């Protein structure tokens, strides 16, 4: 659990846009994974006005408290299952948060805790409970190519469906690669496309989710994946049969082999040799390139 340069940029972008206030509640006590050069770039881009000495000092800190304070958060709180890393609040997120913690957060940040908690539904339910109405959630988690890092990797649709069903608005799911230079993409909601978004990438990919709580629901709503909730987007039986028949043709098998044996390896090689940003996503209409240093995230 921590804050890397991409997650730091997201926090600062929300702060600059006035989307979050002067307090932050972190799931897990986040460590800081931002080097001196990266912090100097953030310092310049987001006008933090840190001196060279402060940049050097903050980048050497193990935990992110000092960085978050320099970002303008006067109150930094952390919640974890144990006190061994000095969390402000000790609570197991597999269990519902106690009533006294409900509605206490104006800005909740998860830098990689959810994927390590077995009961994901309870974690997401706790996110909704911890936030007050108007509060913002920022969740960073494994999306692709990190099998074994935690219990889970997450698809964009999980967050679109869960937050939409549970009183949140302005839901956005971004994807960024863990290789440098990082490229960001906004993943389109599958419901609006009326088709699933599936992808392979040449590197591990992180999902970064932002959502604003608009209303307080009495009970947690369990969502369905959009194609099942919308009855396969109202496709007629003959259309479904035709689609399945196409998948079984020799042409489909040939295209699949071409992609897996030629296109995908070339994409991996290009990324490693020339720094081309995740070609599997770059040319697909479901993913729009964004720049967190310039673009608004909500």
- pLDDT value at residue 269: 65
- pLDDT value at residue 256: 72
For the chain, how many structural domains are there in total? 2
Element spanning 241, H or E: helix 237-247
39 and 126 belong to one structural domain:
yes
101 and 245 belong to one structural domain:
no
Is 295 a domain residue? no
- pLDDT value at residue 285: 76
Kindly report, residue by residue over 85-121, the tens digit of the pLDDT. Answer: 999 999 999 999 999 999 999 999 999 999 999 999 9
Is 297 a domain residue? no
Of the two residues 208 and 238, the one the predictor is more confident about is: 208
Q: CA 51, CA 298: separation in Å to the nearest integer?
A: 30
206 and 219 belong to one structural domain:
yes
Kindly report, residue by residue over 173-197, the tens digit of the pLDDT. Answer: 999 988 877 889 999 999 998 888 8
**pLDDT beyond 70 at 245:** no
138 and 244 belong to one structural domain:
no
State the CATH number of the domain containing residue 72: 3.40.50.150
Q: Mean pLDDT of all residues in the chain?
A: 89
Q: CA 68, CA 242: separation in Å to the nearest integer?
A: 54
Q: CA 256, CA 200: separation in Å to the nearest integer?
A: 13
Kindly report, residue by residue over 114-140, the tens digit of the pLDDT. Answer: 999 999 999 999 999 999 999 999 999
44 and 172 belong to one structural domain:
yes
Q: CA 10, CA 109: separation in Å to the nearest integer?
A: 11
Domain region containing 268: 233-274
168 backbone dihedrals φ, ψ, rounded to 5°: -105, 150
258 and 189 belong to one structural domain:
no
Among 3, 43, 9, which Cα is nearest to 26's?
Answer: 3
Mean of pLDDT values over 255-265? 70
Answer for the pair 159, 207: CB distance below 8 angstroms, yes or no: yes
- What is the DSSP annotation of 118-155? S-HHHHHHHHHHHEEEEEEEEEEEEEES-TTSSS----
Residues in CB range of 296: below 8 A, 6 or more apart: 13, 17
Q: CA 24, CA 227: separation in Å to the nearest integer?
A: 35
- pLDDT value at residue 57: 97
Mean of pLDDT values over 62-71? 97
């Amino acid at each position: 659990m921590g804050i890397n340069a991409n997650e730091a940029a997201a926090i600062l972008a929300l702060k600059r846009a006035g989307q979050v206030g002067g307090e932050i509640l972190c799931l897990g006590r986040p460590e800081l994974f931002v080097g001196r050069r990266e912090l100097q770039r953030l310092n310049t881009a987001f006008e933090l006005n840190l001196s060279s000495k402060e940049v050097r000092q903050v980048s050497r800190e193990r935990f992110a408290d000092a960085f978050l304070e320099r970002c303008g958060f006067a109150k930094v709180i952390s919640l974890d299952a144990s006190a061994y890393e000095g969390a402000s609040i000790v609570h197991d997120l597999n269990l519902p948060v106690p009533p006294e913690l409900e509605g206490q957060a104006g800005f909740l940040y998860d830098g990689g805790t959810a994927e390590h908690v077995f009961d994901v539904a309870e974690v997401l339910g706790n996110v909704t409970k911890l936030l007050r109405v108007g509060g913002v959630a920022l969740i960073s988690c494994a999306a692709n190519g990190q099998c074994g890092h935690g219990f889970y990797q997450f698809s964009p649709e999980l967050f679109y469906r869960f937050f939409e069903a549970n009183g949140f608005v302005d839901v956005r799911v971004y994807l960024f690669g863990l290789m440098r230079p990082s490229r960001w993409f906004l993943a389109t909601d599958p419901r609006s496309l009326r088709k699933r978004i599936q992808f392979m990438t040449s590197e591990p990919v992180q999902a970064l989710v932002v959502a604003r709580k608009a209303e307080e629901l009495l009970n947690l709503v369990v969502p369905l994946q959009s194609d099942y909730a919308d009855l396969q987007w109202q496709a007629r039986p003959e259309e479904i049969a035709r689609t399945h028949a196409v998948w079984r043709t020799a042409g489909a098998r040939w295209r699949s082999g071409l992609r897996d044996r030629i296109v995908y390896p070339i994409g991996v090689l290009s990324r490693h040799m020339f720094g081309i940003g995740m070609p599997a996503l770059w040319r697909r209409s479901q993913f729009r390139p964004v720049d967190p240093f310039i673009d608004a995230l909500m």
